Structure 1
Amino acid sequence: MERCLSTYAFLFRGSSKVNGKGGFLLTRAVPGNAILLMYRVYRNVFPAVHNELSYWIERAKLIPDEELRSQALASIEEKTFHCEGGSIYSVLSRGNDKRAIRFIVAYQTISDYLDNLCDRSTSMDPDDFRMLHESMIDALTPGNPLQDYYQYREEQDDGGYLHDLVKTCQQVLFEAEDYHTVKQQAIKLGKLYGDLQVHKHVIENERIPRLQNWFKRYQKEWPELSWYEFSACTGSTLGIFCLVSYTLSGKMDATLSNQIESSYFPYMQGLHILLDYYIDQEEDEKEGDLNFCAYYAHEEQMKNRFRYFVERTHEEIQRLPDAPFHQMIHEGLVGMYLADRKVGKLSNAKSFVKEMLKVSGKKATFFYYNTKMYHKLKPGREI
């Protein structure tokens, strides 16, 4: 999603009313249609995201170790769209957008930085990957002491960069009065995410057995999923961003926190990551990278399973407050990912896209064609 939602920064430069200070009039209301949502995203959210990222870029430039500095800067430069897309959830915070964005940008920056470190690891040491991702759990746990997250790797001196990212997340959550209500769910999703990153980055011949054995612990709870679908469901940060943003709105309770977890995990998060893997199939095959879509027996099975994820996501998010917003995110995921230029290179893509748009709803088609228009207007820019 993060890759694709930032598309609309360009499309909606629009004409909605703003107040005298340049702010959107309905900053506390959750937008209920695509144009209002994306105008607000362009007008308020993205500038705040870029402001936060500017700080972290300058902070990363101060990292003493050359390799860590290089990966920190590259992770921001190459994956700004992750922070942009994730920060759309800040509109759920009802007036606490800046605090939500501060958390989302810091947490996503940790995720992207660690992903770069793991991708470029020469040791492929699971202990190293596990220790690095302890930072994401500490970031979700105000009061947890900071740890030596680099203790299993040669490069260690980041000048406190990762610690500062963790402390930023902790501070936002410490000040969130209702965070205790969602802490359990957030940490659960964070641990699943960390487990996935460990298993998928080890040496190649160990990856699949580790992922399959990991899934056996959860198979009774999710018998309708395959090991590779379950893995995909754990690879998204959307559920955490949704939980934190609602918490900052001051309207969180135990019922809502449980609703959010069950609405986003596994289906919304799974749909998000499966779409991401779908468009990267050709690229991953060339580079020899793990791609969960490759484990479907055939095209028809993959199409049927994607349809299942779309239908279950739609069903689950209807139980949430602000359901039209979550429905826009759901349909936007489908429309925008399938409009990616990479899709045209895939075999049988035309029939797959047609089927997914049909089952996803009219807004998915709206997002699809508007994203196509964006690519034509900005032919040199990748999302």
Structure 2
Amino acid sequence: MAVPSGPLILMTQVYRKVLPNVHKELEDWRKKAARIPDPELRGQALASIETKTFHCEGGAIYSLLADEKRTSAISFIVAYQTISDYLDNLCDRSGSLDPKDFRCLHQSMLDALNPGAAPSDYYSFREVTSDGGYLEDLVATCQSVLLQIHHFDAIRPYLQELAGYYCDLQVYKHIEISQRVSKLKAWFLNYKDQLPPMSWYEFAACSGSTLGIFCMVSYALKGEEMEERAVTIRNSYFPWVQGLHILLDYFIDQEEDLEEGDLNFCSYYSSKKEMMERFGHFISEADRAIADMPDCHFHRMINRGLLGIYLSDRKVPGQRDVRIQARKLIRRSGAYGRFFFAASWFYRRLRPGA
């Protein structure tokens, strides 16, 4: 099956071949989450699936790169993203502010990318620990898919690098409010010389995406030689594509994060004008970064799809400034962006809760 290079073919394959499998996988995980003994963990697991389904739906588009292994890719993407969403809920909504707790929980995301790694006690810094094996099952599912990759060692270091950034971010952004910014700034300084010019909060955004991992695993499942391709994917997706992804996520959550007292990286721009200029820069650099990727038309559509998916979100119309800025970004995104915005808008209205 050829990788789709046009928006109509892409959307047709997404609706016919990707989303039904995503929803099936999520329903299986929802049933397992409903059997979690502890009510707090059960509630957070179920909420993460109910409210963040679109994370799995969007990430699973990369399964189209896996050809005949598409179903395996979807299993991995849904399981890994479900770990991410579940842990995000646990860190955001529980009373813990302990970095050791967050580090221990997120060890599961590193173990999930390391076939053969034995599970540890991910809840060891929590009083509530009875999840009925839910998190271990998610980790094991990811590991079982990665065992299908014959040349896994070629991608292992890049997966661990990207996941390492992600886990570090989740630790620093959830600790005591008074320490968050200083810890994030200090973390950024460790990598500043290796990055193109950007701020600490933009680096944090670049670290908070799983797209590079999904892209790399999907190509590897296809059975292609990954020695050089893994480097290309890593350099194409980190920092620009991943940064665009997470900045858009924070962009639509500005009002919600303000109400909840959650960290939002968009709030650190000196002005709305600067934010929009930097968004434009991330769009341009993301396009440039994937120009040398195999199937570059597919990846360019992903960039535009990110804009469409996020800017069509139901949260946008209720935030006046965000709504005005979203219109500018839609115009900036070109014909592909407008196409995916329209497709996402209709999908959300046709599917309750999307």
TM-score (norm 2): 0.95
1:126 alignment partner AA: P
**In the alignment, what sits opposite 1:315?**
288
1:60 alignment partner AA: A
- The structure 1 residue matched to 2:162, chosen from 178, 189, 208, is 189
**In the alignment, what sits opposite 1:9?**
none
1:333 paired with 2:306, answer yes
- The structure 1 residue matched to 2:89, chosen from 116, 119, 122, is 116
**In the alignment, what sits opposite 2:119?**
146
Query: Is 2:66–2:219's contact at 8 Å kept on the other side of the alignment?
Result: yes
Q: CA 1:113/1:370 → structure 2, altered by over 3 Å: closer, same or farther?
A: closer
2:32 alignment partner AA: R
By how many angstroms is 1:121 displaced?
2.1
CA RMSD across the alignment: 1.7
Query: Is 1:246–1:252's contact at 8 Å kept on the other side of the alignment?
Result: no
By how many angstroms is 1:351 displaced?
5.7
Other structure's SS at 1:94 match: helix
- The structure 2 residue matched to 1:92, chosen from 39, 46, 65, is 65
Structure 1 residues 62-141: aligned runs within 5 Å: 62-141=35-114
1:215 paired with 2:180, answer no
By how many angstroms is 1:248 displaced?
0.4
Q: CA 1:186/1:342 → structure 2, altered by over 3 Å: closer, same or farther?
A: same
- Provide Cα deviations, 1:117-158, integer angstroms capped at 9, x if missing partner: 111221211100000000000000011111011100001121
By how many angstroms is 1:45 displaced?
1.1
- Taking the aligned partners of 1:104 and 1:253, their CA distance within structure 2 comes to 19
Q: CA 1:298/1:140 → structure 2, altered by over 3 Å: closer, same or farther?
A: same
2:147 alignment partner AA: F
Query: Is 2:148–2:221's contact at 8 Å kept on the other side of the alignment?
Result: no
- The structure 1 residue matched to 2:297, chosen from 305, 310, 324, is 324
**In the alignment, what sits opposite 1:276?**
249
**In the alignment, what sits opposite 1:175?**
148
By how many angstroms is 1:350 displaced?
6.1
Query: Is 1:130–1:198's contact at 8 Å kept on the other side of the alignment?
Result: yes
Other structure's SS at 1:63 match: coil
- Taking the aligned partners of 1:105 and 1:329, their CA distance within structure 2 comes to 18
- Taking the aligned partners of 2:328 and 2:293, their CA distance within structure 1 comes to 26
Query: Is 1:83–1:108's contact at 8 Å kept on the other side of the alignment?
Result: yes
Q: CA 1:258/1:139 → structure 2, altered by over 3 Å: closer, same or farther?
A: same
By how many angstroms is 1:366 displaced?
1.9
**In the alignment, what sits opposite 1:290?**
263
Q: CA 1:113/1:351 → structure 2, altered by over 3 Å: closer, same or farther?
A: closer
2:271 alignment partner AA: H
Query: Is 2:251–2:322's contact at 8 Å kept on the other side of the alignment?
Result: no
Q: CA 1:371/1:146 → structure 2, altered by over 3 Å: closer, same or farther?
A: closer
**In the alignment, what sits opposite 2:17?**
44
Q: CA 1:374/1:123 → structure 2, altered by over 3 Å: closer, same or farther?
A: closer
- Taking the aligned partners of 1:337 and 1:71, their CA distance within structure 2 comes to 23
The 10-residue stretch of structure 1 (256-265 or 47-56) with the greater mean CA deviation from structure 2: 47-56
By how many angstroms is 1:360 displaced?
2.8
The 10-residue stretch of structure 1 (348-357 or 48-57) with the greater mean CA deviation from structure 2: 348-357
Q: CA 1:348/1:62 → structure 2, altered by over 3 Å: closer, same or farther?
A: closer
Q: CA 1:57/1:304 → structure 2, altered by over 3 Å: closer, same or farther?
A: same
Unmatched runs of 5 consecutive residues or more in structure 2: none
By how many angstroms is 1:374 displaced?
5.0
> For this pair of structures, how many residues does the alignment match?
354
By how many angstroms is 1:101 displaced?
0.7
The 10-residue stretch of structure 1 (127-136 or 338-347) with the greater mean CA deviation from structure 2: 338-347
**In the alignment, what sits opposite 1:165?**
138
